[in-house]
Chain A
Amino acid sequence: MKRLFVGIDAGSTAVKVVVIDSEKRVLYTLIEDTKPFIEEQTGSILKAIREKFSGCEFFVTATGYGAQLVKEADKRVTEISCHARGAFFATGKKGTVIDIGGQDSKVIVVGNDGQVLDFVMNDKCAAGTGRFLENIAWRLKLSFKEMEELALSSREEVSISSTCAVFAESEVISMLAKGIELKKIVKGIHRALVKRITAMLYSVSFFPPLILSGGVARNRAVQKMIEEETGEKIIVPENPQITGALGAALSGL
């Protein structure tokens, strides 16, 4: 019977799934918003996968904050190890992974064999995470795409002094009330996030290249600003949001 390896990354914002075979070929990927009942959600995702690949045997590895709720998991691995493994597989290089997720961000230094050499995560605070951008986008009634494009289109930016995801919202509102142009504010918001991330990066002994993973990695304004702030070239895997799930699937091999 053909054996397939499923990686489920049950994150705070999205559930990501990758199915690979023993040759490490990616057969299936899925990204959907995290629902309140992760146990049921991941249960039905797995059921659909079993139907889709009927006749196969599965080994399920779960990661992410909801990993404990994936009842059918054969193995659980932390997202740190999974992002390292996934990024190493996607790029084939040692380097430093910057993962900006929905509710946490991490910097992971990955060695020659894809092993974790060091890591650091954001403190008990949503600043520097996807949630920071999400809150502002919601407040401004903008889509992520619009946020990204506004930030890229602006030459100037305002400085957002609050690093708190909640207080930054009120700062933005007061800036709008003062008549400051929206795109300058949006660029400033991106800068605040990136500065928070790079501060974390500089707290460890990292080495290039910088590899971006997580949902926020798709945002080109964030990519550009990280390059500006660090002077390092960055690599973004083809589908950065599934890096953790891919790493989880690989952990099952």
Chain B
Amino acid sequence: MDTLKRIKYEVITKAAKLALKGNRILSERKFKTPKRWRTDILAPPLKIGLRTKELVTRHYLEGRYAEGAKPVAWVTSGAPVEILKALGFYVLYPENHAALCGARRTALELCLEAEKSGYSMDICSYARCDFGALISGKTPVGKLPKPDLLLCCTNICQTVLYWYRVLEKHFNVPLVVIDTPFLYREAEEHHIEYVKNQLDKLVEVAERVSGKKLKFERLKETLRLSKMAAELWHEVIQTGKNVPSPISVFDQFIHMAPIVEMRGDAETVDFYAEMLKELQERIEKGVSAVVKERRRLLWDNLPIWYKLKFLSEFLAERGIAIVTSTYTNAWGELAPMMDPQRPIESMAKTYLYPILNRGVGHKLKTMKEMIKDYSLNGAILHSDRSCKPYSVGQIDERNRLISELGVPALLLEADHNDPRAYAEEQVRTRLSAFAEMLES
């Protein structure tokens, strides 16, 4: 690493940290609901949003100066990142970056850049967004640092395998693949051993790339922080069990950024502790996320990033609160498996268990439990053109929810990042009809 770049990185990021914090504190003092906010149907925005903005801005700002100053890794969202964090890597999540592009409505432009270069429209829109950003250099965050290491874990899908091979070729840096066998039932010892061996290998490669030796105590501490943040995030989601719910799934989609891309940081723990406090205050004051909550629903699959506001308002106008989702829950439900005293072994197990690495039967079971635990009246299953592993089985899952639990369920076709796979008129008709059905 370059000492001058390191000094520059330290000075700029420290100054930026102070400035962003100061700015946030000032904003908190004069916190007001934005003029265009639909207070007639929605609770005022959560104050924690100012911290989310601060953390995410800082994360990408650090990224701009990280190249050459500290080792940089690009990782998949379900990657065992604690090892890299403990070695001092700056970690970038292309999926999160793509989601941010989706929410800022720049995803289509990036997808088109990728398609112009020959990538098929049938490839995941997160991957296309990432390729588009690589090819064009365009990103709403200014600049993405070049990686020194790529870490790809197959526990979320198989697309990442091919995606990261493209990155490997593009950047010509080492790629570590953590292959997580699909779990049809519970993980067997040999599954865990198999993943553990790969984690040991990851440690070797990451040590070589960073030029550092992994300190075991540091890894334990990182995993401890990861676990705490995941536990708190799970508690945040579970405030939705309260009727009416103080949080909507749209709040969760926005405020999940730190648990995905800042796992293992002390500030992420503070962030979710603060968020939980704010939600508990809402419960005490009787503030509900949807002002007139009449029906409570489950969301399955990724968000439709470019339509969060529209969907949130359209449903709230009809007294519908989407209270929770299998997707946001995925970053909290595995917290109990993390054991900071046995970091590598417990990580090997934890990273085998994400919902997408288990059968559709398990997803159905999770959905059924959530419908009971959160007192829900129905479910919306987003059939996401880009995310095949999440969408497979949804027709049967929908029918089983209807026949076995007697709750209505709707399949909504769209795509998490590509607005061309979304038809607003049809979505309106489906949602309105579903709302009428819930009321009848």
Does B436 contact A77, Cβ atoms closer than 8 Å?
Answer: yes
**Closest residue on chain A to residue B436 by CB atoms:** A81
Asked if A118 CB lies within 8 Å of chain B CBs, one says yes
Please measure, in the bound complex, the distance between the C-alpha atom of A204 and the C-alpha atom of B436, giving whole angstroms.
18
Given A116-B437, A124-B413, CB of A78 within 8 Å of CB of B395: no
Task: Mark interface residues in B414-440 (1 if CB within 8 Å of A CB, else 0).
Answer: 000000011101100110110011001
Please measure, in the bound complex, the distance between the C-alpha atom of A15 and the C-alpha atom of B425, giving whole angstroms.
18
Does A119 contact B433, Cβ atoms closer than 8 Å?
Answer: yes
Chain A residues with CB under 8 A of B437: 80-81, 115-119
Asked if A121 CB lies within 8 Å of chain B CBs, one says yes
User: A101-123: which residues lie under 8 A (CB-CB) from chain B?
Assistant: 104, 115-121, 123
Asked if A205 CB lies within 8 Å of chain B CBs, one says yes
**Closest residue on chain B to residue A108 by CB atoms:** B433
Given A123-B413, A124-B423, CB of A118 within 8 Å of CB of B433: no
**Closest residue on chain A to residue B383 by CB atoms:** A123
Asked if A54 CB lies within 8 Å of chain B CBs, one says no
Chain B residues with CB under 8 A of A124: 413, 421-423, 426
Please measure, in the bound complex, the distance between the C-alpha atom of A121 and the C-alpha atom of B423, giving whole angstroms.
13
Asked if A9 CB lies within 8 Å of chain B CBs, one says no
Chain B residues with CB under 8 A of A204: 399
Asked if B16 CB lies within 8 Å of chain A CBs, one says no
**Closest residue on chain A to residue B408 by CB atoms:** A118
Asked if A65 CB lies within 8 Å of chain B CBs, one says yes
Please measure, in the bound complex, the distance between the C-alpha atom of A204 and the C-alpha atom of B433, giving whole angstroms.
16
Please measure, in the bound complex, the distance between the C-alpha atom of A108 and the C-alpha atom of B411, giving whole angstroms.
14
Determine how close the nearest CB of chain A comes to the CB of B276; give it in whole angstroms. Answer: 37
**Closest residue on chain B to residue A65 by CB atoms:** B425
Does A121 contact B440, Cβ atoms closer than 8 Å?
Answer: no
Please measure, in the bound complex, the distance between the C-alpha atom of A81 and the C-alpha atom of B403, giving whole angstroms.
21
User: A212-227: which residues lie under 8 A (CB-CB) from chain B?
Assistant: none
Please measure, in the bound complex, the distance between the C-alpha atom of A115 and the C-alpha atom of B430, giving whole angstroms.
16
Task: Mark interface residues in A64-90 (1 if CB within 8 Å of B CB, else 0).
Answer: 010000000000011111000000000
Chain A residues with CB under 8 A of B422: 124
Determine how close the nearest CB of chain A comes to the CB of B49; give it in whole angstroms. Answer: 32
Please measure, in the bound complex, the distance between the C-alpha atom of A77 and the C-alpha atom of B395, giving whole angstroms.
26
Asked if B402 CB lies within 8 Å of chain A CBs, one says yes
Determine how close the nearest CB of chain A comes to the CB of B226; give it in whole angstroms. Answer: 40
**Which of A80, A117, A121 is within 8 Å of B436, CB to CB?**
A80
Chain B residues with CB under 8 A of A205: 399, 402-403
**Closest residue on chain A to residue B429 by CB atoms:** A78
Please measure, in the bound complex, the distance between the C-alpha atom of A81 and the C-alpha atom of B437, giving whole angstroms.
8
Does A78 contact B440, Cβ atoms closer than 8 Å?
Answer: no
A-B CB pair tally, cutoff 8 Å: 47
Chain A residues with CB under 8 A of B408: 118
Does A118 contact B402, Cβ atoms closer than 8 Å?
Answer: yes
Determine how close the nearest CB of chain A comes to the CB of B340; give it in whole angstroms. Answer: 47
Given A123-B413, A205-B402, CB of A65 within 8 Å of CB of B429: yes
Determine how close the nearest CB of chain B comes to the CB of A122; give it in whole angstroms. Answer: 9
Please measure, in the bound complex, the distance between the C-alpha atom of A204 and the C-alpha atom of B410, giving whole angstroms.
11
Most buried by B among A79, A121, A124: A124
Most buried by A among B399, B425, B426, B429: B429
Please measure, in the bound complex, the distance between the C-alpha atom of A77 and the C-alpha atom of B429, giving whole angstroms.
10
**Which of A115, A117, A121 is within 8 Å of B429, CB to CB?**
A121
Does B433 contact A81, Cβ atoms closer than 8 Å?
Answer: yes
Does A203 contact B421, Cβ atoms closer than 8 Å?
Answer: no
**Which of A80, A117, A203 is within 8 Å of B433, CB to CB?**
A80
Chain B residues with CB under 8 A of A203: 395, 399
Determine how close the nearest CB of chain A comes to the CB of B378; give it in whole angstroms. Answer: 11
Please measure, in the bound complex, the distance between the C-alpha atom of A104 and the C-alpha atom of B402, giving whole angstroms.
24
**Closest residue on chain B to residue A104 by CB atoms:** B426
Chain B residues with CB under 8 A of A123: 413
Chain B residues with CB under 8 A of A81: 433, 436-437, 440
Does A79 contact B440, Cβ atoms closer than 8 Å?
Answer: no
Please measure, in the bound complex, the distance between the C-alpha atom of A115 and the C-alpha atom of B438, giving whole angstroms.
10
Chain A residues with CB under 8 A of B426: 104, 121, 124
27 contacts between A and B (CB under 8 A): A65-B425, A77-B436, A78-B429, A78-B433, A78-B436, A79-B429, A79-B433, A80-B436, A80-B437, A81-B433, A81-B440, A115-B437, A115-B440, A116-B433, A116-B437, A118-B402, A119-B437, A121-B426, A121-B430, A123-B413, A124-B413, A124-B421, A124-B422, A124-B423, A124-B426, A203-B395, A205-B403
Enumerate chain B interface residues (CB-CB to A < 8 A). 395, 399, 402-403, 408, 411, 413, 421-423, 425-426, 429-430, 432-433, 436-437, 440
Q: A118-B408, A120-B411 are in contact. List 20 more A-B contacts (CB 8 A).
A: A65-B425, A65-B429, A78-B429, A78-B432, A78-B433, A78-B436, A79-B429, A79-B433, A80-B433, A81-B436, A104-B426, A116-B433, A116-B437, A116-B440, A117-B437, A121-B430, A124-B422, A124-B423, A204-B399, A205-B402
In the A-B complex, the 7 residue pairs with the smallest Cβ-Cβ separation, listed nearest first, are: A80-B433, A78-B433, A124-B423, A78-B432, A115-B440, A116-B437, A81-B436
